[in-house]
Structure 1
């Protein structure tokens, strides 16, 4: 599914950073921790949401 707009724990807006994080950390060769630092995501709850998110849109789409 899509990344949540806000962190479930603290409510900080994190959805706006997803595309850049995905491009730099997952598709590129940068360290995810450094990318999150550059994006200004400091809280561990927000970092958890970014690192552990799995984009399942392509997996679920055939069943709709």
Structure 2
């Protein structure tokens, strides 16, 4: 739903890097370059970003009961 503040595996703070990563992807940069520019070197942090699906807009459309 929302990008985690810290990596699940190593605990490195990564939440502040999501917008930079997402903007580079929207500009057409390759995911590897965007992750390298963000300073994400560990495979666990890279996997967290590449596997994330932003569903907050879809989930927000439903009303609470």
TM exceeding 0.5: yes
- Return the alpha-carbon distance in structure 2 between the equivalents of residues 48 and 20 of structure 1: 16
Unmatched runs of 5 consecutive residues or more in structure 1: none
Residue of structure 2 in register with 1:56 after alignment: 55
- Return the alpha-carbon distance in structure 1 between the equivalents of residues 55 and 18 of structure 2: 14
For 2:59, what is the secondary structure of its paired residue? helix
The Cα RMSD (Å) is 0.8
Kindly report structure 1 stretches of 4+ aligned residues shifted beyond 6 Å.
none
Q: How does 1:1-64 map to 2 (within 5 A)?
A: 1-25=1-25, 27-64=26-63
- TM-score normalised by L of structure 1: 0.92
> How many corresponding residue pairs?
63
- Return the alpha-carbon distance in structure 2 between the equivalents of residues 29 and 40 of structure 1: 18
- Return the alpha-carbon distance in structure 2 between the equivalents of residues 37 and 23 of structure 1: 14
